[in-house]
Amino acid sequence: MKNNALKILNLPMVKEAFLYEKLRNEKVKCLLCERKCVIDLMERGFCKTRMNINGKLYTLVYGNVSALESRPIEIKPFFHYWPGSTALTFSTWSCNFDCPWCQNYNLSKSLPKLDVKYFIPPSKLVDEALRLGDQGLCVSFQEPTLFFESAVECFKLGTTKGLYCCFVSNGYMSIEALKVLKESGLTGLKIDVKGDDFVYKNYCGEVYSEIVWRNAKAAKNMGIHVEIVNLLISGINDDEASIINIVEKHVKEVNVNTPIHFTRYFPAYKFFNPPTKLSSLEKAYKLAKAAGIKFPYLGNVPGHPLENTYCPECGFKLIERFMNRIIRCNLTSDNKCPKCKFEIPIKGKVKLP
């Protein structure tokens, strides 16, 4: 066991975790996400990226990069956060959820690869973003919370270089982790809301919806830009009652000015229900508007007019999109509607096409 521990500790992607508590009998309690796993000696937590070695908790994914690509910010989707820009987008391995319809299962269902060929230190990620001319850094593809130690260092350095920093997350991090991320430079958080408690408990691995909404609200209160995404899955959460539940939670916890995206599901991983009906997506949009939400959107339906941004006051088309790209922007320089002067809440500068 000692030789195995020494071998692991010598790897560059193995680093003592930032958030954990030591317990009796050399056990540790991970404080990174709300699972708060208690981990025995030489065992890993639920996500398999945290390991108890000699009574200390270590991340196995520091700088352990599974994917790396410059991508438009709209693809996340963020529609009110640095519109038209690109972000260097990267990820690590595994997840703290177990959704059977995962769209990125090749990464989220893979154990950490303890191979130095995947190691890219935070400083190199920042350098790559600058080299490619990206405006920001985004941790995405699988759950970014697991890349915590690297993200914190990336964001601190990236902020000094003028880069924005964001997460595309399931929103299940601990409040302590969220605070550290905010202090390190996180300014944008897109949260995937899966459905009601039944969906979370029965499909995502015994987790709880109230934690996700709590974190969305907390992030807003910290001054982080938040956008919500609800993947509408055929036969799971695309009925009217499920949609109304999401809409009501959204209005209560993050308010009507926060964008919400209803995105179309396609079969993936272990789930083979048919793709979401367009009528279900359009119903969700109408229910959101009826509840007073000012910026609902549809996603994964290229060319649909409800991918665009309209003035909630006069209905004028302000931003036209196609395939996650801005085609035309009619906002004034101070992000107002040119017709009625209604101010549109946008974080960061709009990069015109």
pLDDT at 62 over 80: yes
Q: Give the residue ranges of DSSP H helices in 25-147.
A: 105-108, 122-132
The CATH code of the domain at 67-307 is 3.20.20.70
> Would you list the domain boundaries of the chain?
2-59, 67-307
- Number of alpha carbons in the 13 Å side-chain half-sphere of residue 295: 23
Give pLDDT, residue 3: 60
Contact residues for 157 (Cβ-Cβ < 8 A; gap 6+): 122, 123, 126
Average pLDDT score over the chain: 97
Give pLDDT, residue 7: 85
pTM score, two decimals? Answer: 0.97
* Residue range 63-76: mean pLDDT, rounded: 98
| Number of C-beta neighbours around residue 80 at 10 A | 24
Quick one: pLDDT band at residue 6, thresholds 50, 70, 90?
Answer: confident
Quick one: pLDDT band at residue 2, thresholds 50, 70, 90?
Answer: low
Quick one: pLDDT band at residue 332, thresholds 50, 70, 90?
Answer: very high
Strand positions, DSSP E, 110-187: 136-139, 164-169
Give pLDDT, residue 352: 85
Which tens digits make up the pLDDT trace of 140-197?
999 999 999 999 999 999 999 999 999 999 999 999 999 999 999 999 999 999 999 9
